[in-house]
Structure 1
């Protein structure tokens, strides 16, 4: 049926803009895939106003460092906990509060936090209010993806190891796995992808109360970054509240290092000097909610004529890492999708495109 002549016809939603630069890589038993295109930084070609034109500047390379954002949740925090559980220093079913001096609801377990079932707020501007607020939902009943849960898990790692989170991750994860390019808050070398144009995303979240109705406005904070975010973590809590080091965000890495990480997790049984394989398998096992294991997100991937489960995690800035346990399949994606005055392409869309490309290659290899 056509609308009446005087009826308002909604304007079509603007098409998402492609990232300035993308690196895609996969390692499988049948083929390797490596693609690198575009630019790691951009510059304005107008008066600098919002919505103005941008042009690519420095080229993207395989050696470019990227802001991993929430990929930190698995590469750093979840993997550190696999080691600590393997060493019997952390019990998944123990109250998280047993490892923390304060800030965690009494009935919430470490497992609840890893499954995003703690009932916590999804997001809270801790640079404005450093306290973890009371749960938004009944704990233990259903999944609500939460940065706050992984902020608390990072604190669990610090408490149990008796050292700072960045040092604990270096000793438990990046050092033993040879991830020389993976570091908190201090990307080595000059080749760093620009993470964002400025702090506009979080400013908008506060001013619109979307997607979370927090009781603050952008004017309540004076420390916003008004220029390009380069070599600093884009996430506001990680940068403004935690000095670039947190359990939910803060890591920088390169795509080759992400592949090394994913390969190690796919060959987890070969690393029994680091973790007990049965503990790793428990982390890899599907949880009670679709698409969620302990810390890891899950995805379906068709390889030749079978469907396998990829474990991994996306990051808001535009990176994803994934692996298939026991199958020697490692996948990594890095982009700077936020470098656009328009609507950025969602990270999940970029990841889906890579998984589809892997499916196609597997059928023709």
Structure 2
């Protein structure tokens, strides 16, 4: 257990990773502890505090899933019903696939949908309807129920389920079923609800490593269910305390539904939540990222503990958040999160992994060279996506060194850089040929 205070650790880590501003909250021992660092923006600097809004990215999915489960408890949604019961307008590239997907499969990322769909459907109340109308363009990565693969698009489709079931816009439904009842007055979806309050701007590093304000603050309205919420760390701890409760809804969401292999994110999906054993302790969590903003929320229900971390600086935000969460677990609970050690680099063993893999908007390239210290993994936005986008897209990360882990020889861990500690695995076909690579819960297929 460290002698440093939470504030001392946050300050030191933020300086080390070049983070302009961060807000950290811990619920432990029945009380809340906060540590805030830096400023909201390098251009218009205001001190970050526990009431500063950050864009939470995919932590938003926990709100969508909770609202869906609330409607399940009310008998208005059946988890095992086909999604078409609630969204009859759903069309995919494969009709059998569209007819088979269930609500449960959307919630635990086993619906066989690709990661995301890049489409602009405006800021009106029909944004989600417009998004769903384009789902015939999304990649289908496997039969429904055949495997877990993280999908932003699947959660946006869940948002349309909520709209059709409640008769309200998605945002109105979340407010009525979750935000208002729980007193979450510092949680919002729309920028005009945030801009009159103190909020953090995202930052990305320029060529010299200097933080530069990111001009797109958050994603489109059609992506609100999967990644559009903003909140303060004070409200995130309120949200955490709700999910630390012992109600049937909370327990159901924290019960494993499908195992995950070789993922830093978790050992299994519950309903939305990543479930992970850390040092013999069961944890429940979700992370999120946007344009220069990063958020993490981790719960330890058996210890009535939660930690929320928000930061407004890339590329170091992912690594900063991970280290703060690890510090909080060790400092408050004595729980140590250790990375597994890779085996020594053997070019002959690693060489078959070399090649190019892709999802809808990204390519992942693995390079192996004899005599190199380690193979590398590089993930970049596809050039055509950058060229077609009217919005600012963060710069790509440089290649990451990685190493294979003991065991099957198909699990790996990134050993340095902003994604240090991220784990994944290679997928093979029946002949043993490598056909894909999983990273951050997403399946990249080999070209």
Q: Does 1:100 align with 2:106?
A: no
| Post-superposition offset of 1:188 | 5.7
1:250 aligns with 228
Unmatched runs of 5 consecutive residues or more in structure 1: 1-15, 44-55, 201-225, 270-276, 339-343
Are 2:79 and 2:103, in contact at CA under 8 Å, matched by a contact in 1? yes
Partner residue of 2:307 out of 331, 341, 349? 331
Contact 2:188 2:231 (8 Å CA) reproduced: yes
2:56 counterpart of 1:68:
yes
CA RMSD of aligned residues (A): 2.7
Distance in 2 separating the partners of 1:195 and 1:296: 25
Given the superposition, is the C-alpha separation of residues 337 and 137 from structure 1 closer, same or farther in structure 2, using an over 3 Å criterion?
A: farther
User: Equivalent residue for 2:350?
Assistant: none
Match of 1:58 in 2: 46
Cα shift readout 1:254-296 (whole Å, capped 9, x = no counterpart):
0000000101110243xxxxxxx1x432221112222221111
For residues 17 and 116 of structure 2, the distance between their equivalents in structure 1, rounded to whole angstroms, comes to 26
Residues 26-45 of structure 1: CA deviation (Å, up to 9, x unaligned): 112276432111121123xx
Q: Determine which of 286, 297, 314 is the counterpart of 1:321.
A: 297
Quote the offset at 1:227 in angstroms. Answer: 7.4
In the alignment, is the contact (CA less than 8 A) between 2:162 and 2:170 conserved in 1?
A: yes
For 2:111, which of 112, 118, 140 is the aligned residue? 118
How far residue 357 of structure 1 moved from its aligned partner, in angstroms, is 2.8
**TM-score scaled by length of structure 2:** 0.59
Task: Check whether the contact 2:309–2:324 (CA below 8 A) recurs between aligned residues.
Answer: no
Aligned ranges 1:15-94 → 2 under 5 Å? 17-29=17-29, 32-43=32-43, 57-74=45-62, 76-94=63-81
1:266 touches 1:327 (CA, 8 Å); kept in 2?
no
Distance 1:191 1:315, change over 3 A: same
Quote the residue 1:350 is aligned against: 321
Q: Distance in 2 between matches of 1:311 and 1:174?
A: 21
In structure 2, the residue corresponding to 1:127 is in which secondary structure? Answer: coil
Pair 349,298 (structure 1): closer, same or farther in 2 beyond 3 Å: farther
Taking structure 1 as reference, are residues 69 and 168 closer, same or farther at Cα in structure 2, changes over 3 Å only?
Answer: same
Label 1:361 to 1:42 Cα distance change in 2 as closer, same or farther (>3 A): same
Aligned to 2:433: none
2:330 corresponding residue in structure 1: 359
Flag the 1:227–1:37 CA change in 2: closer, same or farther, 3 A: closer
| Residues 30 and 362, structure 1, Cα contact 8 Å, conserved in 2 | no
User: Which has a greater percent of strand?
Assistant: 2
Check conservation: 1:314, 1:347, Cα contact below 8 A.
no
Pick from 194, 197, 201: which aligns with 1:187?
194
Deviation at 1:20, TM superposition (A): 1.4
Task: Give 1:65 shift.
Answer: 0.6
- With the length of structure 1 as denominator, give the TM-score of the two structures: 0.71
**Aligned 8 A contact 1:142 1:289 in 2:** no
Confirm or deny: 8 A CA contact 1:267 1:326 kept in the other structure: no
Structure with higher RCO (Cα < 8 A, 6+ apart): 1
How far apart, CA to CA, are the structure 2 residues paired with 1:263 and 1:84? 21
Change (3 A) 1:287 1:355: farther
CA distance in 1, matches of 2:144, 2:166: 27
Deviation at 1:134, TM superposition (A): 5.2
Distance 1:17 1:260, change over 3 A: same
Matching of residue 289 in structure 1 with residue 266 in structure 2: no
Name the counterpart of 1:48.
none
Q: How many residues align?
A: 285
Q: CA–CA distance in 2 between the matches of 1:351 and 1:173?
A: 28
**Contact 1:197 1:229 survives alignment (8 Å):** no
